[in-house]
Chains A and B, each alone.
Chain A
Amino acid sequence: MLGKLLKYELKAMGRIILPLYLVLILASALFAVNIKLNDKTQSLSGFMNIISIVTTILFVACIFVVVIVMFFLVVQRFYKNLLGQEGYLMFTLPASTLSHILSKLLSSLIWIVIGLFAGCSAGFLMVAIISDMKTFNEFISEIMWNLDSLVGSGSIVKQLGMAVVILILGIMKSLSEIYASMAVGHQFNNHRGLWSILAYIGFSLIELGISYLPFVKKITVQLTEQGGFLYNEQFHGTFAIAVLFSLIGILIYGAITWRLLDRRLNLE
């Protein structure tokens, strides 16, 4: 059932977000081409023509729109399809509550990752269009160096892999925090949206509070110090922290969401 639910979820989100991704890529290509063409003139006044202004605004606007729409889409899919009237359809399908939650989580994750990938590709494309070979190589090296400090030295594949893991787990934690907030908000009879927002703020504050607890701080310090007990050549403290924090968050928020949706559903 999860596969089927995921299929429909990907379609439902894709029909909104995919066109926007394509428009963003187009806008960034236009932006980059325009810069490249104006490069020749080497002066500010040459750049300030109407086309440049339009392509710049379009490009920036697209970024904003994609980010905002993605956020609303994530919330809307969960809220409208599970907690709204469509819930009468979804929760009477022969599928477990867990598969419903996972389908939303995975679909959002996949589309966000696709978006980031598209964004990175667009970024590389832009840099490639605009710059020359030397600048491009410097740009790549800069990125590599930053990755080093985040995940520790090692093969490039491993570094990229670790970065991807942190990213994905981080996204999943944020998503599950949003879902848990909505599940909590659903428990109230009135002003469910408001209660969901309050729940989200509450969760965020709790997370903040936990990170300041003495014993948590102790572990954090130990792990990030060069001589910490988990440190070795292959392993870097930051990575461990990020992964641990994310996993615990996903499990706790997931459990809250599951419990509330499975036992305390009250559609109307």
Chain B
Amino acid sequence: MEWEFKSGAPIYQQIVLAVKFRIANGTYPPGSKFPAVRELALEAGVNPNTMQRALAELEREGLLMTVRTSGRLVTGNEERLRMLRMELGNSFIGDMFVNLRRLGLSDEEIVEAVRSWRQEAADRGKSLPDEIDGQAGTPASVKEGQNI
């Protein structure tokens, strides 16, 4: 599993985001045991303090929990996970709007374009691609550190 870090944003923030995606897409399943700081830092090639900071942030946001004897667990709370998926999903959607607006489309035109794209794909019997450019996750806006 590759961890990729970009230049402009603090690494701990990028880690928070990467872990959020991995929780959302099931790489770290709900309720499962979360890897130890040192192990994850090693895997990601980052300073353990930086990793610790990121994980502490995720704990603060309720996505990870420290259990006294067993280390960290991913939350099993369905509601919280649903909110996470929405949060991440909205950033993709936000990205899409930003990009299409740049092409001159109005918001209504964008919604219409989404509908017809979906229809066209269904007509051609194609299944939706799971990946864009080989990367499952991290929308462009988040990569560049912009906020919608």
Direct contact of A and B (CB under 8 A): no
Which B residues have a C-beta under 8 Å from some C-beta of A? none
Which A residues have a C-beta under 8 Å from some C-beta of B? none
